[in-house]
């Protein structure tokens, strides 16, 4: 990696690590259940979370393109902290729903802005070809953060229960917001004759939507990114899965560690996997989904090994597909187009939730196999000749 790119990579890694050391992550589904919510009500909360993304995803991406991607990351941390505070102060369906709305708004501010900030920063350093590698590290850091988060969750829950876990999570989010304020934000090229600084917010939004919808080489990979990203929703069910397999609640964070470690390894290998062809990526994804389905049919704690293999392979493919998308879009619309993929993910996630409610792991895995079959065609779509990496 060229030396000018290293400070950006280090700061992004540090921010990603801190932003995800959230003790509530491995326990919040159990918090909902402990507060008396049914499985249907918990799924409804997840649906509310996704609905916020559907409404706010693309507008937030245009905000990042028009104004400041770094400011979006700062605001995201503050909103997420407020959401967790609502969970602690109002432990009911209404309070949890409010928290998910705030967390959802924070999540959409990160979506698109994070990828755009990293890719354009690498472009400015002359290292855009390193995006899959660095973003794989960032994704791995986000997953590695779950390890200290799991240990902290175990200790904090034993000392002060869910309230202490929640307040510590609020503090971590605010610290991550402070760190985000120090991330470098390079100037953006417009890629057109018109200076992007003079574009209105609506013009920025419109330009990004046109690229996502009308440019064939972009449109197909947006679809692939959206469909594949929806399967990340299964992570929300991991604690419930292992509890259902007989693992005691106090040991759930520890039981999740092999799955998290596999995700870390998979994401970290994305730089190498980026050299694979579309058919090879589809084979990896299909095998991962087969293992996921087998774990569900086994219905035994030993299935944690299959879950880990699934999650590692899935994370690797997801990072590579995101890199294929970033290569096809220009700087001034990067966050908006990435957010279009994000809203597609939010919509597709409803399908994953519905599949889970009807057929649990086996049905979700079957849908994943179908996506793997379609993946080569989506990734082989022609690239429009006027797309530039740096814009």
Of 57, 76, 49, the closest CA to residue 340 belongs to 57
Higher pLDDT, 87 or 12: 87
Higher pLDDT, 38 or 193: 38
Question: Is the distance from CB of 356 to CB of 46 less than 8 angstroms?
Answer: no
- Averaged pLDDT for residues 12-27: 88
Q: pLDDT tens, 295-307?
A: 888 877 777 888 9
Q: pLDDT tens, 327-336?
A: 888 767 787 8
Higher pLDDT, 1 or 46: 46
Would the pLDDT of 199 be above 70? Answer: no
Q: What is the predicted pLDDT for the residue at 191? A: 43
Q: pLDDT tens, 128-142?
A: 888 888 888 888 888
Q: HSE of 219 in the Cβ direction (CA atoms, 13 Å)? A: 9
Q: How far is it, in rounded angstroms, from Cα 71 to Cα 62? A: 13
200: left (phi over 0), alpha (psi -120 to 50) or beta: beta
Question: Is the distance from CB of 183 to CB of 117 less than 8 angstroms?
Answer: yes
Would the pLDDT of 386 be above 80? Answer: no
194 — pLDDT class (breaks 50, 70, 90): very low
- Name residue, tokens 């929703």: 233
Question: What is each CA distance from 316 to 26, 93, 328, 333, in whole angstroms?
Answer: 22, 35, 19, 25
Would the pLDDT of 221 be above 80? Answer: yes
Q: How far is it, in rounded angstroms, from Cα 383 to Cα 379? A: 10
- Name residue, tokens 């941390």: 77
Q: What is the predicted pLDDT for the residue at 270? A: 87
Q: pLDDT tens, 28-53?
A: 888 998 888 887 888 789 888 878 87
Highest mean pLDDT among 48-57, 131-140, 143-152, 157-166: 157-166
Would the pLDDT of 384 be above 70? Answer: no
Would the pLDDT of 308 be above 60? Answer: yes
Q: How far is it, in rounded angstroms, from Cα 34 to Cα 131? A: 42
Q: What is the predicted pLDDT for the residue at 69? A: 86
Q: How far is it, in rounded angstroms, from Cα 293 to Cα 75? A: 38
Instruction: State the first-to-last Cα distance of the chain, in angstroms, to the nearest integer.
Output: 21
Q: What is the predicted pLDDT for the residue at 97? A: 95
289 — pLDDT class (breaks 50, 70, 90): very high
Q: How far is it, in rounded angstroms, from Cα 279 to Cα 348? A: 23
Assigned superfamily of 3-187+196-379: MFS general substrate transporter like domains (1.20.1250.20)
Q: pLDDT tens, 172-186?
A: 999 999 999 998 888
Question: Is the distance from CB of 204 to CB of 332 less than 8 angstroms?
Answer: yes
Q: pLDDT tens, 72-127?
A: 999 999 999 999 999 999 999 999 999 999 999 998 899 888 888 888 888 887 88
169 — pLDDT class (breaks 50, 70, 90): very high
| Average pLDDT over the chain, rounded to an integer | 83
- Averaged pLDDT for residues 371-380: 88
Residues 6+ apart with CB under 8 A from 391: 120, 188, 189, 190, 191, 330, 331, 332, 333, 334
- Averaged pLDDT for residues 236-260: 78
Q: What is the predicted pLDDT for the residue at 256? A: 78
Within a 10 A sphere around the Cβ of 101, how many other Cβ atoms? 20
- Name residue, tokens 């399967």: 231
- Name residue, tokens 């704690």: 301
Question: What is each CA distance from 245 to 99, 113, 365, in whole angstroms?
Answer: 29, 38, 18
Q: What is the predicted pLDDT for the residue at 369? A: 92
Q: What percent of the chain has pLDDT over 70?
A: 89
248 — pLDDT class (breaks 50, 70, 90): confident
Question: What is each CA distance from 18 to 9, 10, 156, 209, in whole angstroms?
Answer: 14, 12, 17, 32
Q: What is the predicted pLDDT for the residue at 313? A: 94
Paired tokens of 79: 């909103």
Paired tokens of 253: 């964070």
User: Is the entire prediction scored with pTM above 0.75?
Assistant: no
Would the pLDDT of 385 be above 60? Answer: no
Q: How far is it, in rounded angstroms, from Cα 25 to Cα 341? A: 24
Higher pLDDT, 294 or 80: 80
């Amino acid at each position: 990696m060229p030396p000018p790119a290293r400070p950006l990579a280090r700061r992004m890694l540090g921010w990603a690590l801190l932003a995800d050391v959230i003790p509530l992550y491995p326990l919040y589904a159990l918090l909902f259940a402990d507060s008396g919510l049914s499985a249907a009500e918990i799924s409804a909360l997840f649906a509310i979370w996704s609905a916020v993304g559907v409404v706010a995803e693309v507008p937030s991406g245009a905000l990042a393109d028009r104004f400041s991607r770094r400011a979006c990351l700062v605001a995201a941390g503050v909103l997420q902290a407020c959401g967790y505070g609502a969970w602690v102060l109002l432990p009911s369906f209404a309070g949890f729903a409010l928290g998910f709305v705030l967390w959802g708004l924070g999540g959409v501010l990160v979506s698109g802005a994070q990828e755009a900030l990293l890719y354009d920063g690498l472009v400015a350093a002359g290292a855009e070809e390193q995006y899959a590698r660095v973003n794989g590290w960032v994704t791995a850091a986000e997953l590695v953060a779950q390890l200290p988060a799991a240990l902290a969750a175990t200790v904090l829950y034993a000392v002060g229960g869910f309230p202490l876990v929640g307040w510590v999570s609020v503090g971590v989010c605010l610290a991550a917001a402070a760190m985000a304020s120090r991330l470098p934000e390079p100037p953006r090229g417009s890629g057109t004759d018109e200076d992007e600084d003079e574009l209105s917010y609506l013009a920025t939004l419109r330009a990004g939507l046109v690229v996502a919808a009308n440019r064939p080489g972009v449109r197909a990979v947006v679809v692939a990114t959206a469909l594949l990203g929806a399967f990340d929703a299964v992570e929300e069910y991991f604690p419930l899965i292992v509890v259902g397999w007989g693992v005691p609640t106090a040991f759930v964070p520890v039981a999740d560690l092999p799955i998290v470690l596999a995700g870390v390894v998979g994401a970290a290998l994305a730089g190498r996997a980026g050299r694979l062809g579309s058919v090879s990526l589809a084979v990896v994804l299909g095998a991962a989904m087969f293992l996921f389905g087998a774990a569900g049919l086994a219905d035994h704690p030993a299935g944690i090994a299959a879950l880990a293999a699934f999650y590692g392979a899935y994370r690797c493919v997801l990072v590579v597909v995101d890199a294929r998308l970033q290569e096809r879009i220009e700087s001034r619309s990067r966050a908006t187009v990435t957010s279009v993929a994000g809203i597609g993910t939010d919509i597709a996630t409803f399908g994953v939730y519905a599949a889970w409610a009807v057929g649990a792991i086996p049905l979700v895995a079957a849908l994943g196999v179908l996506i793997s079959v379609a993946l080569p065609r989506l990734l082989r779509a022609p690239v429009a000749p006027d797309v530039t990496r740096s814009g």
